[in-house]
Structure 1
Amino acid sequence: MSQVTQGVLKEIVRPGSGPQVKTGNTITVHCTGNLVTPPKKFWSTKDPGQKPFTFQVGLGKVIQGWDEGCLSMHKGEVAKLTIDSKKGYGASGFPAWGITPNADLMFEIEILEIN
């Protein structure tokens, strides 16, 4: 594991071979999100009826841990990001997805496209 920033740990599952994500890029990812404690999946783009997720990176359009973690990734890379609650949904949590207040999160993210 390597620390991307304080509160975001990254473990490369499969290295990428394409360009590195830069601030302002629109990226498309496959993602599976889990609570760290207790371990529980709350969302996956690979579930039936779901599709890859597209967002602009580095501009605060997603949780801070995603922005910071994805900026260190390359096209084709698969990584596990363990995100401290302060860089996730914090004290509010995200009740609609079963994310409790102050929950640490683990996401497996695959960079599919960078535009």
Structure 2
Amino acid sequence: MFSLKYSVKVTRRGLISIFWFEAGLKKSSKTLFVYRNYSKFQKQKMGVEKQLLRAGTGPKPAPGQTVTVHCTGFGKNGDLSKKFWSTKDPGQQPFSFQIGQGKVIKGWDEGVLGMQVGEVARLRCSPDYAYGPGGFPAWGIQPNSVLEFEIEVLQTQ
């Protein structure tokens, strides 16, 4: 048995590469994905970053309230440009959930709290605020994937 070691490099343009090493020698490298507009994301809570796409004018939801959103998820097979699900797809409808009850991934619970009705934002969720080590294979989400969600808050009750 041997352990596979790796290092991660992020370039000035946000290009992320992983280099695998075996027995101290460079084995191979692979470019994973490009973080587009990386500097426009602002850290919300630990594990969630937010990029404001359109300001809202309505109230902010509070813990325990039910919020209805349009959402599109990105990060299929580790590529943040590939969509894995959307409420705007044919046959889908807006999604409602109660904030702070653990009914959705932690990144949604934390990220939606600071949004206003009418706001559109892109949330970047670290693996522990998304699907973690299990991933979500049915949607092509690999274990420990960083995911992005474009969320529009439609209403809160």
Give TM class, smaller chain: over 0.9
Q: 2:137 maps to what in 1?
A: 95
Q: Tell me by how many angstroms 1:21 deviates.
A: 1.1
**Tell me, what secondary structure is at the counterpart of 2:44?**
strand
Bigger Rg, which one = 2
Q: Tell me by how many angstroms 1:7 deviates.
A: 1.1
Long gaps (5+) in structure 2: 1-40
Task: Please give the alpha-carbon distance, in whole angstroms, between the structure 1 residues aligned to 2:109 and 2:100.
Answer: 5
**Which structure is richer in relative contact order (CA contacts within 8 A, separation 6 or more)?**
1
Q: Tell me by how many angstroms 1:41 deviates.
A: 0.6
For residues 53-78 of structure 1, the C-alpha deviation after alignment (integer angstroms, 9 at most, x for no partner) is 01101111100000000001010000
Q: 1:32 maps to what in 2?
A: 72
Whether 2:111 is the aligned partner of 1:75: answer no
Task: Please give the alpha-carbon distance, in whole angstroms, between the structure 2 residues aligned to 1:38 and 1:108.
Answer: 15
Q: Tell me by how many angstroms 1:28 deviates.
A: 0.5
TM-score in terms of structure 2 length: 0.71
Task: Please give the alpha-carbon distance, in whole angstroms, between the structure 1 residues aligned to 2:63 and 2:50.
Answer: 18
Q: 2:62 maps to what in 1?
A: 22
Task: Please give the alpha-carbon distance, in whole angstroms, between the structure 2 residues aligned to 1:63 and 1:38.
Answer: 19
Task: Please give the alpha-carbon distance, in whole angstroms, between the structure 2 residues aligned to 1:96 and 1:113.
Answer: 29
> Identity over the aligned pairs, expressed in percent?
56
Q: 2:7 maps to what in 1?
A: none
Q: Tell me by how many angstroms 1:2 deviates.
A: 1.7
Whether 2:155 is the aligned partner of 1:110: answer no
Task: Please give the alpha-carbon distance, in whole angstroms, between the structure 1 residues aligned to 2:52 and 2:61.
Answer: 15
Task: Please give the alpha-carbon distance, in whole angstroms, between the structure 1 residues aligned to 2:116 and 2:42.
Answer: 15
Q: Tell me by how many angstroms 1:3 deviates.
A: 1.0
Aligned length: 115
**Tell me, what secondary structure is at the counterpart of 1:5?**
coil
Task: Please give the alpha-carbon distance, in whole angstroms, between the structure 2 residues aligned to 1:11 and 1:41.
Answer: 17
TM-score in terms of structure 1 length: 0.96
**Tell me, what secondary structure is at the counterpart of 1:91?**
helix
